[in-house]
Chains A and B, each alone.
Chain A
Amino acid sequence: MSLVNFTTREITCKIVYYGPGRSGKTTNLQYIYGRVPEARRGRMVSLATQSDRTLFFDFLPIDLGSISGFTTRFQLYTVPGQVYYNATRKLVLQGADGVVFVGDSQARRYDDNVESLQNLQENLLAQGVDIRQLPVVFQYNKQDLPRDLILSPAELDDALNFRGVRSYGADCLHGHGVFETLKGISELVLQRLAAGSPAA
């Protein structure tokens, strides 16, 4: 999928929410879904297990209307976080224009975050995409939990965000940081238009 199609005058941004299981990727999408006017959102497709774990992926299309003559759409995806769904993650990751890495701020999930980030790098690399060339932002979810249970955004930046890309503390359940994150990744993705290098 290409980010910008000059022939049809369409801009489609595929943004994938990536991260360890239970970090809050689906919660991000659900919050966004609840805030997007009905006329501008498509049906949110969510394939979940009985215990509400994401089985395949979540998909939320948002139509932003015509901006500067371009019909602009956002497609938000989540990947199943569980380690054993890697094939699905690879599939969803294909053609992503940007990635939101949703980290779990809980200190006990530190290793899961690191493992998921490594998995993201590997899967991108397998598709010939260098993570350094792809717009990525970090979101550290569950910052509303007691301080002694979680790592601060600065600590998580030290552990995960060694490239110093944009990062956001968040409490997705209540919506804090959700749109900030979406705005951040959108800006990075759309800035690539100027470079004239549509994402593959």
Chain B
Amino acid sequence: MSTQLSPQLRFDGFVVGAANRLAATAARTVAESPGTGYNPLFIYARPGLGKTHLLMAIGHAAQAINPALSVEYVTLDDFVEAFHTAVGAGQGDAYRRRFAESDILLLDDVQFVTHRRETQAELLRLVDQMQASGRQIVLTSDRPPADIEAFDERLLRRVAGGLVIDIAAPDYETRVAILRRKAEERQVVFLPGVLEAVATLALDSVRELLGALNRLIAFQSVGNAPLDAEQARVVLGVRAMASDVPAAPSVTSPDPEPEAVVDEFGEFLSEVAETLTRQVEGWRRRVEEAVARWDGQGYQTARLTRLLDRSVDGDPAETLSAFVADVETLQALQAEAGVLAADLAADPVFRDPDGVAAAEAFLARAQEGASPPPPPDGIWLFEHLVESEGNKVALRSAHAAATRPGLAYNPLVIVGGAGVGKTHLLHAVGNLLLASPGAVVACLNAQDFTEELIEAIARDRIAPWRARYRRVHALLLDDVQLLANRERTQEELYLLFNHLVERGAQLVFTASAEPGEIDGFEERLASRLAGGLVVHLPAPEREVRQVVIERLLGARYERVDAELASFLASRPAESVRAVQALVQRIEAAADARHCEPDVALAREVLEGAPPRAPRPAAGVRTSGVAAGGFRSPEKGVWEWPDLGERLIEEWR
């Protein structure tokens, strides 16, 4: 039966020196072009010098070049046994075909063909057949063909017709190279001079050399310090130079018992060390894999590296799982930071599993920003607003937005002239929103928004500034038209807008004009604002003015003069602010006269009616109209041209 090629025995693991260079070259040639060069190739060498290694390397290399090639590796003993079995089963022909039809036949330990005439005859037939069909045959032996006892003369000639080559014992340099490569493969580091000392020992075969290396590795692994060259010689002296070095190495402690006894414990020690090292290496490998994995993902792995350096106490499994847990915490924090701002999430603080607390603090700071976002002013409440036919839509929409944030109208844009109550309504919405537990509501003027941004830029605190607003549940921005031509602020608002809408946060804006009509307002932002609900807040109607006036008077005087309130409400006003100014004028006049205001006083102040008390009757003119000259409002002039026009008129 054929044997599987050992995966370790390849050309790249074969150290080439002067003693084996020719054999290695021939083997490579055969592998690269089987059946065309040296056929058959006969390699002979003493045991342990690499015959089998070369044989299998040929198989691997040939299959690597052409995977379709069929390669049979078999030792002569197996070849004979399989032949006998096949013949016994009446399958002799099938057996012959199997080998004869293989592309490369690798036959090991041919020296055992001695005195086996039938096998030799079979082998002769096989060589002839394979040579004739251009198939490659490679044979190895521990002696030259001529020295194989009772070797068939015809077979000898066939072999001699190919290439017969030997492998000599490796020279010193090759031995050092072999030892270094194997030590490297085993990841063992020796002190300088140790391997060189081993190479000087009278160990002719590579196998013995590797046995010596294994012994050194075992003893070094159980010692407290690396072996030096002298100790290495002593360690190997027990086996390789027993007659030269009688004492056991210090690492195993000198023992008075005979050598065989020392070996018994030494072997036990070596095996335990090997097993233990393998097991420890198991978890060390797991740790190394974890280091590679997390390091690859950009996480700091100092904790795991310390574990490998053996300077940290604790179960590696526990340390590993704790590390993974910390990484997961960091990932969660990072994701939270990412919600606030992408550049926050990229901060290195989220890459250090030893600094979870720092990451938490960083996120907390980011969430808080420099200070909490400005809340709505508590004095402006929704219940203070007076609903009328004209403002009904605006008020109800605002209420809906406040009670169903993000769901009803988002964004809500309240458009109106100066003083009509946009700011009041905005803050009132904000206060309603604040009623929800945990709600964070930012309510501020657009000018302040810009100022904050400028300061954040100046202090290089853009990320926290963004974070400050990105965590809010509602953003209420007053007088958004003030952002006209503020490109950077508009850009930030645009990003914030998208982020908040995506999060389902409520947005409410007030503006003096419809978004699309504001000059210097970016279209992408205007279109987003217009995409929600735009409602108009008109100038206060009479009933609104009446209520406002009654409230204002009621706040000042015990009794509200209904006639006065009605009179004042009947006067036109473009804004609530104008109504307030009206009331203030009357109150000021009343204060000057130390009386309570009434309609007469109001008429006098507003329409120029004569005072009830004696006062100068003439000489006081106002723009050409004698004070108190008209009693009927219909004869009064209610709208005066502005000062410039009046001056031009008078100058003419």
Residues in chain A within 8 A of chain B (CB atoms): 6-9, 11, 34-40, 64-70, 72, 175, 179, 182-183, 186-187, 190-191, 193-194, 196
Contacts and interface: CB of A to CB of B under 8 A. Distances in A.
Interface string B238-276: 000000000010011111010001101101110111011
A180 to B, nearest CB: 9
Interface string B27-60: 0000000000000000000000000000000000
Given A37-B254, A196-B283, A66 B276 contact: no
* 4 nearest A-B residue pairs (beta carbon): A37-B253, A193-B279, A39-B253, A68-B280
A182 B264 CA distance: 11
Contact of B317 (A9, A35, A196): A196
A64 B269 contact: yes
Nearest to B267: A179
B276 A190 contact: yes
10 contacts: A8-B313, A40-B265, A64-B222, A64-B269, A66-B223, A69-B280, A186-B268, A193-B280, A194-B279, A194-B282
Given A6-B313, A9-B310, A37-B252, 9 more contacts: A38-B253, A64-B272, A67-B273, A68-B280, A72-B222, A187-B272, A190-B279, A193-B282, A194-B278
A34 B257 contact: yes
B261 A179 contact: no
Given A35-B261, A35-B264, A183 B272 contact: yes
A191 B271 CA distance: 12
A186 B276 CA distance: 9
Given A183-B271, A183-B272, A196-B317, A67 B221 contact: yes
A37 B248 CA distance: 10
B261 A34 contact: yes
B272 A186 contact: yes
A196 B252 CA distance: 29
B455 interface: no
B319 to A, nearest CB: 8
A11 B278 CA distance: 14
B371 interface: no
A160 B558 CA distance: 110
Nearest to A190: B275
A37 to B, nearest CB: 4
A69 to B, nearest CB: 5
B281 interface: yes
B314 interface: yes
A72 B314 contact: no
A67 B273 CA distance: 6
Nearest to A178: B264
B622 interface: no
A183 B268 contact: yes
A67 B264 contact: no
Residue among A6, A67, A186, A191 having the largest count of chain B Cβ atoms under 10 Å: A67
B313 A7 contact: yes
Contact of B276 (A8, A36, A72): A72
Interface string B461-491: 0000000000000000000000000000000
A185 to B, nearest CB: 11
Interface string B342-382: 00000000000000000000000000000000000000000
A25 to B, nearest CB: 18
B281 A68 contact: yes
B3 interface: no
Nearest to A72: B276
B316 interface: yes
A65 B250 CA distance: 12
B460 interface: no
Contact of B253 (A7, A9, A40, A193): A40
A36 B276 CA distance: 19
Given A37-B252, A179-B264, A65 B271 contact: no
A40 to B, nearest CB: 6
B272 A67 contact: yes
Contacts of A7: 313-314
Nearest to A68: B280
Contacts of B282: 193-194
Interface in B263-318: 264-265, 267-269, 271-273, 275-283, 310, 313-317
Contacts of A9: 310, 313
B260 to A, nearest CB: 9
Contacts of A196: 283, 317
Given A35-B264, A179-B267, A194-B282, A187 B224 contact: no
A179 B273 CA distance: 15
A9 B316 CA distance: 11
A182 B275 CA distance: 13
Nearest to A40: B253
Contacts of A35: 257, 261-262, 264-265
Residue among B222, B255, B276 having the largest count of chain A Cβ atoms under 10 Å: B276
Given A186-B275, A196-B317, A67 B253 contact: no
Contacts of B267: 179, 183
A11 B277 CA distance: 12
Given A66-B224, A186-B271, A193 B276 contact: yes
Given A70-B276, A187-B275, A6 B316 contact: yes
B323 to A, nearest CB: 15
Contacts of A193: 276, 279-280, 282-283
A176 to B, nearest CB: 11
Given A7-B314, A37-B252, A65 B222 contact: yes
Nearest to A198: B315
A64 B273 contact: yes
A40 B275 CA distance: 19
Given A35-B265, A37-B252, A6 B315 contact: yes
B224 A65 contact: yes
B255 A182 contact: no
Given A35-B257, A37-B265, A38-B253, A68 B277 contact: yes
Contacts of B248: 37
A156 to B, nearest CB: 24
A178 to B, nearest CB: 8
Interface in B155-202: none
Nearest to B251: A65
Residue among B254, B275, B277 having the largest count of chain A Cβ atoms under 10 Å: B275
Contact of A69 (B272, B310, B317): B310
Nearest to B248: A37
Contacts of A64: 222, 269, 272-273
Contacts of B310: 9, 69
Residue among B265, B277, B278, B282 having the largest count of chain A Cβ atoms under 10 Å: B265
Contacts of A38: 253, 255
B496 to A, nearest CB: 50
Contacts of B223: 65-66
